[in-house]
């Protein structure tokens, strides 16, 4: 979710769901050790509960970053052992770490020793074409037993480290949800969260029959309106009255604030382009918000023009 789940995207998503846990894009230890820490870690209080996802493989560096996560006020720190990109592999972290479970255990232990936050691991169910269940079972057993990790987010596909792009790695290796279910059966005291290929609420309900949670990535980003019922449906929260016009108005207020602070409002607007998917006129509405000629206008004016583009199709449609 690099460049997708930044702080502006997370603020937008929090308008739609108050209880779903949000995750940052993966931040490398190098970026926090040598870069602008505040730029990578700052977030709005509205984003809680929020997890910082880290990429790295040096226990001492990860421990330092875990301390930063606690200092900044995150609710969880997550170690990425699932990203298959070549750039990540060159840094010797991501999915290739699954081949070194003892090292991952050392990383997790160092992070747990450095902070009081829950330290979790996101991983695949295998690397390459090896589909042996023993591989992922032993990985989880080592990281839990030696590192003390209690929560595993399982992307239920292998990571093919050669021959596929990151996009293809999200689509080509077959999904095997039964592997995640089997992990829960073998490690009933651990928490397992399912990830991969979820596009409908009904799928979430099926996975929750077997596991403790579900992580939804790209579907939630591309179809954000799907999140509006999650608090009530999955967390037992009281129903909320949400409509797309109201969400857009809140985003306009947010974009006005960040523009006043010197941040181009378009950095936030791009995250809400899926808000009106399925409504008549949605394409023209997106075009207005994406029009580079309007980027010097105040967000309220762009919203006025975008909503006018919907007008021939009746803004009073039931949301």
User: Is residue 188 helix, strand or coil?
Assistant: coil
In the set 65, 81, 83, 96, the catalytic residue is 83
C-alpha span between 278 and 282 (Å, rounded): 7
Residue burial 134-170, b: 16+ Cβ < 10 Å; e: rest:
ebbbebbbbbbeebebbbbbbbbbbbbbeeeeeeebb
- From residue 184, alpha-carbon distances to 79, 133, 193, 253 in Å are 20, 13, 10, 44
**Residue 158 backbone dihedrals phi, psi, to 5 degrees:** -70, 155
Which residue has 């940052």 as its token pair? Answer: 24
**Closest C-alpha among 226, 179, 222 to residue 203:** 226
Known active-site residue 83: yes
Catalogue the active-site residues.
Answer: 83
């Amino acid at each position: 979710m690099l460049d997708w789940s930044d702080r502006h995207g997370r603020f937008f998503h929090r308008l739609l769901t108050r209880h779903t846990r949000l995750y940052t894009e993966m931040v490398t230890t190098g970026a926090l050790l040598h870069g602008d820490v505040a730029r990578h870690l700052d977030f709005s209080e509205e984003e809680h509960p929020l997890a910082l996802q880290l990429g790295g493989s040096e226990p001492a560096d990860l421990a330092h970053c875990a301390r930063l996560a606690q200092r900044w006020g995150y609710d969880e720190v997550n170690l990425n052992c699932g990203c298959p990109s070549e750039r990540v592999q060159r840094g010797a972290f991501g999915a290739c770490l699954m081949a070194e479970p003892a090292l991952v255990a050392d990383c997790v232990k160092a992070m747990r020793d450095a902070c009081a936050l829950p330290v979790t691991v996101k991983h695949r169910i295998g690397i390459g074409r090896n589909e042996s269940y023993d591989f992922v079972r032993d990985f989880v057993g080592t990281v839990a037993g030696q590192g003390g990790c209690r929560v595993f987010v399982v992307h239920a596909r292998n990571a093919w480290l050669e021959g596929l792009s990151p996009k293809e790695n999200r689509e080509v290796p077959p999904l095997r949800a039964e592997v995640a279910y089997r992990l829960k059966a073998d490690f009933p005291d651990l928490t397992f969260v399912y990830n991969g290929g979820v596009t409908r609420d009904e799928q979430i309900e099926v996975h929750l029959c077997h596991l403790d949670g579900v992580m939804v990535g790209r579907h939630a980003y591309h179809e954000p309106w799907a999140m509006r019922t999650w608090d009530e449906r999955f967390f037992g929260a009281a129903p909320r009255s949400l409509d797309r016009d109201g969400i857009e108005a809140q985003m306009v207020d947010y974009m006005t604030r960040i523009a006043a602070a010197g941040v181009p409002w378009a950095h936030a607007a791009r995250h809400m382009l899926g808000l009106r998917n399925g409504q008549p006129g949605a394409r023209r509405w997106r075009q207005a918000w994406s029009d580079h000629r309007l980027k010097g206008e105040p967000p309220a004016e762009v919203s006025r023009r975008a909503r006018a583009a919907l007008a021939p199709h009746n803004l009073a449609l039931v949301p």
